[in-house]
Structure 1
């Protein structure tokens, strides 16, 4: 792989992950993000779904620890996102480059899958943080869609 290839891969990264994050401490998530997001931060623009769990934790870590550009993508509006997610976005607002609201009329699985596809379609790779015991989730749908698009993915079970 050439330097150009590495720079292309690192230009835009989708982050996806479980909403169930209570089984690890904030320090453990910070360590995971340092290990698996940190190497991409010098050159990457991160796309994160505006949800609770990994989305909010990754947003807060990126906003506090890096200067990487961040785009938040909500399936409908941010006002319809969970309180945890709205608070993370409010806290990080000065670091967020863009908030995209996809205006879904119903917040059901198809809206979240559409949001995930939207992010993957605009990025060059996906980093997924699935809950180790959840075999079929939106996180895995996003990882699988990334694979179908022929794009690299890094899977970090939590």
Structure 2
């Protein structure tokens, strides 16, 4: 049984917001039950879109995980996190307090989320082997975690 799901994805998807929302309905909704926790990163792009979609369309438990602090995230992500926290939709906001924001901190955040999940749903932009989404999906495979990849 799936009890925790990590969402990972592109900060700059090629698909429109309307297309991404349709993908969320097809690929997130089946797991978006009240007994499931979603771990979502606090970045722009897929992270913020998934957070808002899940908050509006599910009763799932939502956790936002950021590599440093919320204040260091992009403005649109900070606004979304504050909005959903004020409406009581976030179970927790985890600030990992990395010493600096960058690739290493984002990778550490993603691994932290995967380590706590049974399923990882990735929304990559293309098939870049060095992307954060690719790195996260490879790590999930190494940990023998279930993965679902939905290109955006």
The TM-score range, normalised by the shorter chain, is over 0.9
CA distance in 1, matches of 2:58, 2:144: 28
The answer as to 2:60 corresponding to 1:68 is: yes
Q: CA deviation at 1:134?
A: 3.2
| Unaligned ranges ≥5, structure 2 | none
Equivalent-residue separation in structure 1 for 2:36 and 2:130 (angstroms)? 28
* 8 Å CA contact retained: 2:65, 2:109: yes
Query: What residue number does 1:57 align with?
Result: 49
Aligned to 1:119: 113
Structure 2 Cα separation of the partners of residues 121 and 108 of structure 1:
20
Q: CA shift at 1:152, angstroms?
A: 0.6
TM-score calculated relative to the size of structure 1: 0.91
Determine the structure 2 residue equivalent to 1:26: 17
Shift of 1:28: 1.1
User: Is the contact made by 2:129 and 2:135 (CA closer than 8 Å) also made in structure 1?
Assistant: no
Residue segments in structure 1 that go unaligned for 5+ positions in a row: 1-6
TM-score normalised according to structure 2 size: 0.94
Distance 1:105 1:17 in 2: 23
**1:67 aligned counterpart, secondary structure:** coil
- Kindly tell me the number of residue pairs found equivalent between the two proteins: 149
Query: How far apart are residue 38 of structure 1 and its match?
Result: 0.3
Matched, 1:36 2:30: no
Per-residue CA distance 1:90-111 (angstroms, 9 max, x = gap):
2211201000000001112111
The Cα shift of 1:133 comes to 5.0
| Structure 2 equivalent of residue 80 of structure 1 | 72
Matches within 5 A, 1:78-157: 78-93=70-85, 94-132=88-126, 134-157=128-151
Supply the distance in 1 between the matched residues of 2:19 and 2:107 (Cα, whole angstroms).
28
CA RMSD of aligned residues (A): 1.0
Three-state SS of the structure 2 residue aligned to 1:61 is helix
Distance (Å, rounded) in 1 between the aligned partners of 2:143 and 2:128: 23
User: How far 1:26 moved relative to its partner?
Assistant: 2.0
